[in-house]
Amino acid sequence: MGSTRDPDRRDRILDAASAVFAEKGFAGARVDDIADRAGVNKAMLYYHVGDKTALYSAVLLRNFERVRVALDEALATGGSARARLEAVITALTRMVQRHPDHPRMMLREIASGATSLEPEVLAAMLEVVGVVRALIAEGTAAGEFRAIDPVLTHLTLVGAVVFLNATAPIRNRAAALGPGFSLPEPTTDIARFIKEMLLDGLAADRKPGGS
Amino acid sequence: MGSTRDPDRRDRILDAASAVFAEKGFAGARVDDIADRAGVNKAMLYYHVGDKTALYSAVLLRNFERVRVALDEALATGGSARARLEAVITALTRMVQRHPDHPRMMLREIASGATSLEPEVLAAMLEVVGVVRALIAEGTAAGEFRAIDPVLTHLTLVGAVVFLNATAPIRNRAAALGPGFSLPEPTTDIARFIKEMLLDGLAADRKPGGS
DNA sequence: TTCCTAACTAACTGGTTGGTTAAACCAACC
DNA sequence: GGTTGGTTTAACCAACCAGTTAGTTAGGAA
C-alpha cells in the first residue's frame, strides 16, 4: 500500500539524497542533512528506503535508468551511425546538464575504484556502456568510423561530456581569480565541440595512413 | 629546522595522506589511518604539516608540482606543436599511471565543484592548464591544428587521459561480471589511442568544411 | 466504538573521529 | 652532567553521526 499521507515521499527522499551525495560524496553526506532537505524525519529514510548504502544504491539505480531511457530515445532517431552518435552526444550533454547529480556521483565512484558499487548498480551502468559501444562498433563495421576500440572510444566520449560540464564551477572560480580564462559556454556549444572534436579530430591536415 | 631523526618524515606523511585521500576522499579519509600508514603518531601530522585540510592542500600542491615538472620536460623536447602535444599526452599518461593518487583526488574535487580548493592549489592547477592551453593555441596559430577552443580541448585531453586510466578498476570489475568486456591495455596503448583519437578524430572520411 | 496496522516522530545510544595536551625523549651544546 | 629546544608519544576529550526505539497519529475494517 502506498503512503496515505504523501504517495511520492520516496521520490522526494531520493531527490534529496541525490543532491547531497553529489555535493558531498557518500562519506561526506549526512543522513540528517538528506532528511532535512527531503522534509522528512530521519527515521523515515530507514523506513521507506533503508540505510545509507541502500539509499545510495537506490539513487544510482534511478539515475542510470534515466540515462538509459534518454539514450534509447536518441538511438530511435535512426539514420547513419554518425548521426545517431551525434544524437547520443546531444542526449548525454542535455542529460548531464539537466541532472548533474549523476555524473558527479559517478566521478567519485571512478575515483574510488568503484569498490563499493553494488553488482546491481554496476549492471545498470554496463547496460548504458553497451549501447554506445555497440553503436561505435556498428559504425566501424559500416565504414563510417575508423577501426578503433569501441570501449575506449565510449569512455573518451563520456569523459569529454562529463569533464566539460562538471568542470564548469571550477572554471568559474578560475575566471574569478585571473582574467582571460572564463568560458561561459551555452549548452549547444559544448555538444557541438565534442562532436567536432571526436569525429573530425584536432589536426588541420588529416593523415590518411595514420592508423 | 628539519627533524633530527628523520629528515623526510614530512614526505612520508604526504605519501600516506595522498594514498588515503585518493582512496577515500577528504571526508572518508581517517586521520588515524593516514598516521598508521605513514608509521607515525597521529600528533606528528599536526606537528609537521597541520590539520586535515592543511594536509590535503599540501598533498595537492606537491602533486601538481610533479605534473608541472613532467610537462615542462615534455615541452622541452621541441619540434612541431603536434609533436610536443603528443609528448604532453605521453607525459600525462605516464604521470597518471605512476602517481594515480593525483587524478583520483582531482576527480573528487571536480565532483564537488572545487568549493573547498584553496586559492593556492587552484593557482597551481591553472599553471598546468595554461601550459597545454598555450601549446594548443600556438598549434592553431601555426596552422597545425584547426581553429578550436584551447581550454575545451585541454579539458577533453585531460578528461580522456584520466578517464581511460582511472576507469581501469571499474572495467576490471565489469570484466569479472560479464564475458567479452575486459580491456587490459598496456601503458603505451592508451597514450596512442588518445593521440589518434584527438588528433585524427573518429571519422573514416574527414569533412574538410566542418568548421 | 474498538481494534489493527501503516506512517510518522522525538529523543536517545553507542561508537567514531578530528584535534589537543602534558609529559617524555633525545641530540647537541655548554 | 645539566640545560635547552626540537621531536615524539600515549592518553584524552568534545563533537559528531548512523542507526534505533519507544511511543504517537490516523485511517480503515469489524
The CATH number of whichever domain residue A87 belongs to comes to 1.10.357.10
The percent of residues above 90 in pLDDT, for chain A, comes to 50
Residue A146: CA atoms inside 13 Å, Cβ hemisphere, count? Answer: 24
User: What is the pLDDT averaged over residues A163-180?
Assistant: 81
Distance from CA of A211 to the nearest CA of B (A): 8
Other Cβ atoms within 10 Å of A143 Cβ, number: 11
The whole-model pTM stands at: 0.89
Q: Is residue B145 assigned to a domain? A: yes
Q: Does A141 touch chain B (CB under 8 A)?
A: no
Do residue A153 and residue B197 have CB atoms under 8 angstroms apart? yes
Domain count, chain B: 1
Q: E strand or H helix at A22, and its extent?
A: helix A9-28
Cβ neighbourhood burial of A162 (10 Å; 0-12, 13-18, 19+): buried
Q: Is residue A44 assigned to a domain? A: no
Q: Is residue B190 assigned to a domain? A: yes
CB distance A28 to B28 below 8 Å:
yes
Question: What pLDDT, on a 0 to 100 scale, did the predictor assign at position B3?
Answer: 39
Q: Which residues of chain B have pLDDT under 70?
A: 1-7, 178-188, 201-211
- Probe site for chain A from B117, B202, B205, B211 (most A CB atoms < 10 A): B202
Question: What pLDDT, on a 0 to 100 scale, did the predictor assign at position B42?
Answer: 95
Q: Is residue B9 assigned to a domain? A: no
Q: Is residue A93 assigned to a domain? A: yes
pLDDT tens digits for range A122-167: 989 988 888 888 998 899 899 888 888 888 888 888 888 898 889 8
Q: Is residue B13 assigned to a domain? A: no
Q: Is residue A26 assigned to a domain? A: no
CA-based nearest residue to B3, from B64, B47, B66 = B47
Q: Is residue A6 assigned to a domain? A: no
Q: Cell for A134?
A: 555497440
Question: What pLDDT, on a 0 to 100 scale, did the predictor assign at position B182?
Answer: 53
Question: What pLDDT, on a 0 to 100 scale, did the predictor assign at position A3?
Answer: 40
Instruction: Please list every residue in chain A whose beta carbon sits closer than 8 Å to the beta carbon of residue B198.
Output: 197, 201-202
CB distance A70 to A91 below 8 Å:
yes
Q: Cell for B139?
A: 598549434
CA-based nearest residue to B21, from B102, B131, B142, B120 = B102
Provide the residue range defining the domain that includes A140. Answer: 58-202
C1' of C25 to CA of B10 (Å): 20
- A209 pLDDT tier (thresholds 50, 70, 90): very low
Q: Does A184 touch chain B (CB under 8 A)?
A: no
Partner B, chain A 36-75, Cβ-Cβ below 8 Å: none
Q: Where are the alpha helices (DSSP H) in chain B?
A: 9-28, 31-38, 42-48, 52-76, 81-98, 101-111, 119-141, 150-166, 168-177, 187-200
Which residues, at least 6 apart from B163, have a Cβ–Cβ distance to it below 8 Å?
A: A110, A155, A156, A158, A159, A162, A163
